[in-house]
Amino acid sequence: MALLKTLPKAHARPGRPAPELIFGELWEYDPAPESADPKLKPRYELFINGEFVAPKSGKYFDSINPANEQKLAEIALAGAADVDAACQAAQRAFDQVWSRLPGRERAKYLFRIARLLQDRAREFAVAETMDGGKPIRESRDFDVPMAAAHFFYHAGWADKLDYVAPGRRVAPLGVVAQVIPWNFPLLMLAWKIAPALAMGNCVVLKPAETTSITALKLAEIFQDAGLPPGVVNFVAGAGETGAALVNHPIPAKVAFTGSTVVGKLIMRSLAGSDKKMTMELGGKAANIVFDDAPIDQAVEGIINGIFFNQGHVCCAGSRLLVHEPVAATVLAKLKNRIKVLRVGDPLDKNTDIGAINSKEQLGKITELVASGVKEGAEMFQPACKLPAKGWYFRPTVFSKVTMSHRIAREEIFGPVLSVLTFRTVDEAVEKANNTAYGLSAGVWTDKGSRILKMSTELKAGVVWANTYNKFDPTSPFGGYKESGFGREGGRQGLLDYCRLI
Ligand code: NAI
Ligand code: MG
């Protein structure tokens, strides 16, 4: 770390704000890139029946590093015939091996997978960051350890399934089709695969088209763990592959995380079938700050709530509802805080905000932000420099936002915060619930009774109190309204992977 040469020069530049306002610009760090080798292969095949196999179509697509737009690897594109082979393999594995193993044997595999992932944690973190664009600090400290934690947690359940639904017995469903998004590629995979396997189901999973690499790397771990062939299969590709998978006759259940638009499409196409479904869709969470909240902590929570993972988070606290008496203070502190967020190379350990996952997503964020300006909200962005290559977006705070603005209603899925104010508890609840979504919310107040009242009245699957974006495998996660249905994590998550008998 080096003190930036130019403290006096910085101050001397004409038009610079007073020193206390630029405190964050005084320091510049030397680059500190994470150096672990991600051990990428130039080409990743499909993972079907325990083996890496070329796609029947012979087609491949590129996976790009969003931080510099360079190609990382090519990925096999699964067509309908590959999806069929994967579903058949999963069904065979289910009938012949997996559903017959006692839970304590399945647990051993899950433990092994968790341990092997821990052994290769740094390698996976670097691969996740390069493929998806998230800061290494997050993939290293959050995504990979949390993914391992989900395997550990569900390993613990596999021999205790009699306690999932007290008084009832549980049975696996069979083959489950799982489709996941690009914002937490490895973690969403662990959320879905670990409970499915613990319960005795077999899996065909499709990772998102921009982030397939860590799934296919995990397949190497499945091989090393000796997981019986066909228990988990990976088919890579875009929407068409996903549609072929969810509509295939074999899967008894479809578990989807992604956009509400695609969720609805899948629900429509499965209507009338007897497939079970769980849907984890979009969000437009309210982070609600009362005047008695510890303001500095709340500001950190707001920052973490929306700028974490570039705002590529379905439960991101994208709407800040702030109590009028403290609105000006909170806004001023927020602006000061985002001036010192470091946007840039995701592999640098000092980076707070990495790359936007794809050019399409950057386009969507840019368009929504432009609509905010056009509709009359007041935009603040720090003057940070963005890398010349790659897809980046400055952290953005909108004030003077009203409920009718698109930025207050639509999921932006980027580092963009809309600030609204309220005067009473009832107004806060009303504004928070005035959305088509209902995945999560945050409440910042010193009063326990108010937290209890808010958590009862907020129509959100998760309500964080005096914190934000905290996760644990024991804690169920899921939504209300257009945020979807079903839960992932905890005992409730397991219930969504079984039949009660
Ligand atoms: P998406 O919903 O299109 O993609 C999610 C997954 O669904 C991907 O694996 C994709 O290949 C697959 N998919 C797409 N069409 C499908 C179909 N017809 N049948 C089966 N699977 C299909 O999300 P996208 O386009 O990447 O992002 C668009 C917006 O969706 C984002 O801007 C964000 O607002 C929201 N989103 C929400 C997520 C969440 O965690 N709730 C995750 C990703 C995106
Ligand atoms: Mg990529």
CA atoms within 13 A on the CB side of 292: 9
Helix, strand, coil percentages, rounded to 5, for the chain? 45, 20, 40
Atom in ligand 1 nearest the alpha carbon of residue 281: 41
Contact between residue 400 and residue 377 where contact means Cβ atoms under 8 Å apart: yes
Report the C-alpha dihedral over residues 200, 140, 138, 362, rounded to 10 degrees: -80
Q: What is the CATH number of the domain that holds 371?
A: 3.40.309.10
Nearest C-alpha to atom 6 of ligand 1 is from which residue? 181
Residue having the nearest C-alpha atom to atom 13 of ligand 1: 239
- Pull the structure tokens for residue 408: 């207050």
Q: Which ligand is nearest to the CA of 74?
A: 2
The ligand 1 atom at the shortest distance from the C-alpha of residue 283 is: 41
Task: Give residue 403's pLDDT.
Answer: 93
386 in the same domain as 367? yes
- Burial class of residue 257 in the structure, from the number of CB atoms within 10 Å of its CB (0-12 exposed, 13-18 middle, 19+ buried): buried
93 inside domain: yes
Same domain for 253 and 374, yes or no, is no
Domain presence at residue 386: yes
> Both 313 and 456 in a single domain?
yes
Q: Are residue 211 and residue 324 in the same domain, yes or no?
A: no
Question: Candidates 77, 206, 246, 259: which one to mutate for ligand 1, based on the most atoms within 8 Å of Cβ?
Answer: 259
Residue 301 near residue 465, CB atoms below 8 Å: no
472 part of a folded domain? no
Within this chain, do residues 450 and 309 fall inside the same structural domain, yes or no? yes
Q: What is the pLDDT of residues 24-34, one digit of tens each?
A: 554 778 899 99
Q: 248 and 306 share a domain?
A: no
Query: What CATH number is attached to the domain comprising 168?
Result: 3.40.605.10
**Residue 20 domain-assigned (yes or no):** no
Strand-pair partners of 380: 397
d(CA 19, CA 91): 66
Would you say residue 5 lies in a domain? no
CA atoms within 13 A on the CB side of 127: 25
Among the listed residues 87, 314, 384, 498, the single catalytic one is: 314
Q: Residue 435: which of 266, 265, 326, 281 has the closest Cα?
A: 281
87 a catalytic residue: no
Asked if 266 and 408 sit in the same domain, the reply is no
Pull the structure tokens for residue 144.
């990979």
CA angle, 241 then 246 then 251, to 5°? 125
The pLDDT of residue 452 is 97
Q: Count the alpha carbons within 13 Å of 219 in the hemisphere toward its beta carbon.
A: 27
pLDDT (tens digit, 9 = 90+) per residue, 262-299?
999 999 999 999 999 999 999 999 999 999 999 999 99
Q: How many domains does the chain have?
A: 2
Q: Which residues fall within 8 angstroms of residue 478, CB to CB, at 6 or more apart? A: 278, 280, 439, 461, 484, 485, 486, 487, 488, 492
- 271 and 333 in a single domain? The answer is no
CA-wise closest residue to 89 among 52, 45, 47, 48 = 48
Q: Is 220 a catalytic residue?
A: no
3-class secondary-structure state, position 418: strand
Residue 37 falls within a domain, yes or no?
no
Q: Is residue 476 part of a domain?
A: no
Task: Indicate which residue of 25, 123, 280, 482 is catalytic.
Answer: 280
Same domain, 461 and 491: no
Could you tell me the distance, in angstroms and rounded to a whole number, from the CA of residue 95 to the centre of ligand 2?
Answer: 35
Asked whether residue 38 is domain-assigned, the answer is no
Q: Measuring from each residue's beta carbon to the nearest atom of ligand 1, which residues come in under 6 Å?
A: 179-183, 206, 208-209, 238-239, 242-243, 246, 257-259, 262, 265-266, 280-282, 314, 361, 364, 411, 413
Domain span at 448: 286-465
Show the tokens assigned to 127. Answer: 């691969």
What integer pLDDT is reported at residue 1 of this predicted model? 38
DSSP state at residue 84: H
SS3 397: strand
Looking at the CA of 72, name the nearest ligand.
2
- The verdict on 245 and 360 lying in the same domain is no
Question: For ligand 1, atom 16, which residue shows the shortest CA distance?
Answer: 239
Pairing mode of beta strands 416-422, 396-399? parallel
Whether residues 374 and 360 share a domain: the answer is: yes
- The pTM for the full model equals 0.94
Strand partners, 159: none
For ligand 1, what atom is nearest to the CA of residue 439? 41
Q: For residues 192 and 218, is the Cβ–Cβ distance under 8 A?
A: no
Q: Closest-lying ligand to the alpha carbon of 282? A: 1
Together in a domain, 179 and 314: no
User: Nearest bound ligand to CA 182?
Assistant: 1
Q: Which residues contact residue 278 at a Cβ distance below 8 angstroms, ignoring those fewer than 6 apart?
A: 253, 254, 255, 256, 478, 484, 485, 486, 487, 488, 496
- What CA–CA distance (Å, rounded) separates 202 from 175? 5
Per-residue pLDDT of the chain (501 residues; tens, 9 = 90+): 343 333 444 444 555 544 444 445 547 788 999 989 999 999 999 999 999 999 999 999 999 999 999 999 999 999 999 999 999 999 999 999 999 999 999 999 999 999 999 999 999 999 999 999 999 999 999 999 999 999 999 999 999 999 999 999 999 999 999 999 999 999 999 999 999 999 999 999 999 999 999 999 999 999 999 999 999 999 999 999 999 999 999 999 999 999 999 999 999 999 999 999 999 999 999 999 999 999 999 999 999 999 999 999 999 999 999 999 999 999 999 999 999 999 999 999 999 999 999 999 999 999 999 999 999 999 999 998 899 999 999 999 999 999 999 999 999 999 999 999 999 999 999 999 999 999 999 999 999 999 999 999 999 999 999 999 999 999 999 999 999 999 999 999 999 999 999
Atom of ligand 1 nearest to the CA of 206: 9
Q: Which two tokens stand for residue 18?
A: 């007073």
Q: Which helix (H) or strand (E) holds 465?
A: strand 462-465
* Burial of residue 485, with CB atoms counted within 10 A of its CB: 0-12 exposed, 13-18 middle, 19 or more buried: middle
Q: Which residue lies with its CA nearest to atom 21 of ligand 1? A: 242
Amino acid 121: pLDDT: 98
Q: Which of 63, 77, 143, 179 to mutate to test the pocket of ligand 1 (most atoms within 8 A of CB)?
A: 179
Report how far ligand 1's centroid is from the alpha carbon of 260 (Å).
8
Ligand 1 atom at shortest distance from the alpha carbon of 313: 40
